[in-house]
């Protein structure tokens, strides 16, 4: 067995990108958990529409978590695991099922914006280190989270 990874990126470049992706994964996991929880707990006259909207979003997010974690592994680092580890890495806090539907959506919208900022920082590092694969992954995920934030904002009556 060999520990040598020869993909055109140095060990330092891979480590820098993996460190950024670890933050992305933690924020993405926190947004996923909150979206899923709010899917379960949303209530009110628009319940069915909001329940379905949040389900579409958390299903997409769930699949993406695996892609991000596997990219960390492909870079030669271990992906974080465990709730405590994720909690220490993310700035996104748990949701509150007692909130009303509009506040749940506002909070999720802000959380997507936080995740977008984390992704943009990681994208800058990946681009600077010449990691086109991670740039591609993050670019696709940015599009998804910008769309999710827009959908939530529009549902709340914003632009």
**71-92 tens-digit pLDDT:** 999 999 999 999 999 999 999 9
In the numeric block, which tokens belong to residue 6? 């020869």
Q: What angle do CA 111, 33, 112 make, to 5 degrees?
A: 20
How many Å is the Cα radius of gyration of the chain?
A: 17
pLDDT of residue 2: 56
Average pLDDT value for the chain = 95
159: pLDDT confidence band, cut at 50, 70 and 90? Answer: confident
Tokens of 99: 């909130």
For the chain, which domains are there? 11-155 (1.20.1260.10)
Rounded Cα–Cα distance for residues 59 and 4 (Å): 35
Distance between CA 98 and CA 6 in Å, rounded?
Answer: 51
Compute the distance between CA of residue 138 and CA of residue 144 in angstroms, rounded to an integer. Answer: 10
- pLDDT, average across residues 132-148: 97
Residue 1 pLDDT > 60: no
Q: Which residue has the higher pLDDT, 2 or 28?
A: 28
* Amino acid 100: pLDDT: 97
Q: What is the pLDDT of residues 108-138, one digit of tens each?
A: 999 999 999 999 999 999 999 999 999 999 9
Instruction: At 100, list the tokens.
Output: 């009303």
pLDDT of residue 96: 96
Q: How would you label 116-128 residue by residue, b for 16+ Cβ within 10 Å and e otherwise?
A: bebbeebbebbee
pLDDT at position 33:
96
- CA 58, chain centre distance (Å): 10
Report the alpha-carbon distance of residue 23 to residue 4 in Å, rounded.
Answer: 25
User: Could you read off the pLDDT of 42-77 as tens digits, one per residue?
Assistant: 999 999 999 999 999 999 999 999 999 999 999 999
Q: Are 159 and 93 in contact (CB under 8 A)?
A: no
Contacts of 145 (CB under 8 A, 6+ apart): 31, 112, 115, 116, 119
So what's the pLDDT on residue 4? 83
pLDDT, mean of residues 94-118: 97
């Amino acid at each position: 067995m060999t520990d040598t990874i020869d993909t055109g990126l140095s060990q330092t470049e891979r480590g820098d990108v993996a460190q950024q992706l670890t933050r992305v994964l933690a924020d993405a996991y926190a947004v996923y958990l909150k979206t899923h929880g709010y899917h379960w707990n949303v209530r009110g006259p628009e319940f069915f529409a909001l329940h379905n909207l949040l389900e579409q979003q958390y299903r997409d997010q769930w699949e993406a978590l695996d892609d991000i974690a596997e990219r960390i592994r492909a870079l030669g680092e271990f992906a974080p695991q465990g709730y405590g580890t994720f909690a220490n890495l993310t700035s996104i806090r748990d949701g509150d099922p007692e909130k009303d539907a509009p506040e749940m959506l506002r909070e999720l919208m802000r959380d997507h914006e936080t995740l977008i900022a984390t992704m943009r920082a990681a994208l800058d590092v990946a681009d600077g280190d010449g990691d086109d694969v991670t740039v591609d992954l993050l670019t696709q995920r940015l599009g998804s989270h910008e769309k999710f934030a827009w959908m939530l904002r529009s549902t709340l009556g914003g632009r």
